[in-house]
Structure 1
Amino acid sequence: MAAVLFDFSGTLFRIESTASWLRAVLDEAGLPLAEAESTRIARELEHVGALPGGVAPRVPMPDELAAVWDVRDESAELHRAAYTGLSRLVALPDPALHDALYDRHMLPSAWQPYPDAAEVLRALRARGTKVGVVSNIGWDLRPVFRAHGLDPYVDAYVLSYEHGVQKPDPRLFKTACTALGAEPRDVLMVGDDRRADGGAAALGCAVHFVDHLPAAQRPDALRPVLDLVD
């Protein structure tokens, strides 16, 4: 393989828990809640899928929100509208918290690399294998990689909102292959979403899937990538 493409959320990084996400925003706003109330709200936010990178929504969406949801990763505005729209399905102590929650999830401190991410990226760099990050996302994730020391191992970032195209559209993977100077047949795509990341196969890329689990529960799922490259 001449290059490896990685998804971001659920593949190289994991978002914090919904409870931690909510607690951080409440603390920043100076709005302490009783533990039982905070737990209830966090459970409701998780149920509606309001945390980007967290679990998918488990409730039917209003038609107008569903229309935005389907194309949410094509622009920063749509991404914010989709996720703040979901959070607004839950009553919060202050309406301003909906935007504060969205802003929180973009901070590097809200993300944790999987335990083997740095090791695998370093090994690929040592092998001379190009690395790209291909993500369906509505904001610039580069600061997350920089803050966690992984940016030096990434040769190209191809983010859906910057191109107006989202996975599984093969055009996004083609853009990444071109950026890395690699033919699709010589590229491996690694992701956790069989539909979105599996779109690379239509272009001729090999595809390898990992499970979207909390970081502590997935210590070494990325290491087989090195064997696949070799």
Structure 2
Amino acid sequence: MQIKGVLFDFSGTLFRIESVRSWLRAVLAEREVTVAAADFERYARALEAAGALPGGPPPQHVPARLASVWATRDESAELHREAYTGLARQVALPDPGLYDALYERHRSPAAWQPYPDAAEVLGALRESGTRIGVVSNIGWDLRPVFRAHGLDALIDAYVLSYEHGVQKPDTRIFHTACTLIGQDPADVVMVGDERRADGGAAALGCDVRFVQHLPVEERPDGLRMLGLAPGVA
């Protein structure tokens, strides 16, 4: 196929969230909360098991009281915050203000790092005239993350689930993205890391290609290997 447009997922595809320990350490320092090393490790392990870090490890168990919120968490900013702060509150932290502070931290550009080949692949697509969109299941505005890391100028359109009230794999979100980049789905590739969510684009007629959701240092060329742009492989 001749690729005229590429849609990218955000978390685990173009960017990766910091580790749970880095996330917790940054917030404790910001709020000037000191904990013993053993307690820090205990909090970090419990938050990781709870799945409290958006973009991090999924929850090992979602409490029944949060099940409906969890299922629709990416359809609004309010649901997203409720879901993740609710998971975090399963862990008894030493300062009640930490739960909201942890949520705010994950929305900051400092908490995210682009994959090593993201700028190269996006730049090559831009240079070739290929239209580029970002399609994300998310509850907050990720545009500042792209701006802070110098990638915003390479993106033609953002389609964020909370702004449209619909989340992947619903084909409506992919249809909106294809419309915004001005391309027929048959000429568009969707790139993501989640088979179910990102794979929903196939029902619309898009080609779908996957990368592995790995730490940044473990995936130096996952995007480059997809053969999306001429001269980049």
TM more than 0.5: yes
Structure 1, unpaired ranges of 5+: none
Root mean square deviation of aligned Cα:
0.8
The Cα of 1:228 is off from its aligned counterpart by: 4.1
Match of 1:41 in 2: 43
The Cα of 1:62 is off from its aligned counterpart by: 2.3
**Where do 4+ consecutive residues of structure 1 move more than 4 Å?**
none
What secondary structure, in the 3-state scheme, does the structure 2 residue paired with 1:175 have? Answer: helix
AA at the equivalent of 1:151: D
What is the CA–CA distance in structure 2 between the aligned matches of 1:138 and 1:201, rounded to whole Å?
24
Matched ranges for 1:170-181 at <5 A? 170-181=171-182
AA at the equivalent of 1:51: L
Match of 1:85 in 2: 86
What is the CA–CA distance in structure 1 between the aligned matches of 2:129 and 2:229, rounded to whole Å?
11
Does the Cα contact within 8 Å between 2:20 and 2:48 map onto a contact in 1?
yes
AA at the equivalent of 1:162: E
Structure 2, unpaired ranges of 5+: none
Match of 1:94 in 2: 95
The Cα of 1:34 is off from its aligned counterpart by: 1.5
What is the CA–CA distance in structure 1 between the aligned matches of 2:147 and 2:51, rounded to whole Å?
27
Percent identity over the alignment is 70
1:113 matches 2:119: no
What secondary structure, in the 3-state scheme, does the structure 1 residue paired with 2:196 have? Answer: coil
What is the CA–CA distance in structure 1 between the aligned matches of 2:28 and 2:142, rounded to whole Å?
24
Match of 1:203 in 2: 204
The Cα of 1:33 is off from its aligned counterpart by: 1.2
Matched ranges for 1:42-191 at <5 A? 42-59=44-61, 61-191=62-192
* Count of matched residue pairs: 228
What is the CA–CA distance in structure 2 between the aligned matches of 1:154 and 1:37, rounded to whole Å?
42
AA at the equivalent of 2:35: L
What secondary structure, in the 3-state scheme, does the structure 2 residue paired with 1:132 have? Answer: strand
AA at the equivalent of 2:200: G
Structure 1 residues 160-201: Cα deviation after superposition (integer angstroms, max 9, x where no partner): 000000000000000000000000000000000000000000
The Cα of 1:95 is off from its aligned counterpart by: 1.2
The Cα of 1:125 is off from its aligned counterpart by: 0.5
What is the CA–CA distance in structure 1 between the aligned matches of 2:77 and 2:13, rounded to whole Å?
21
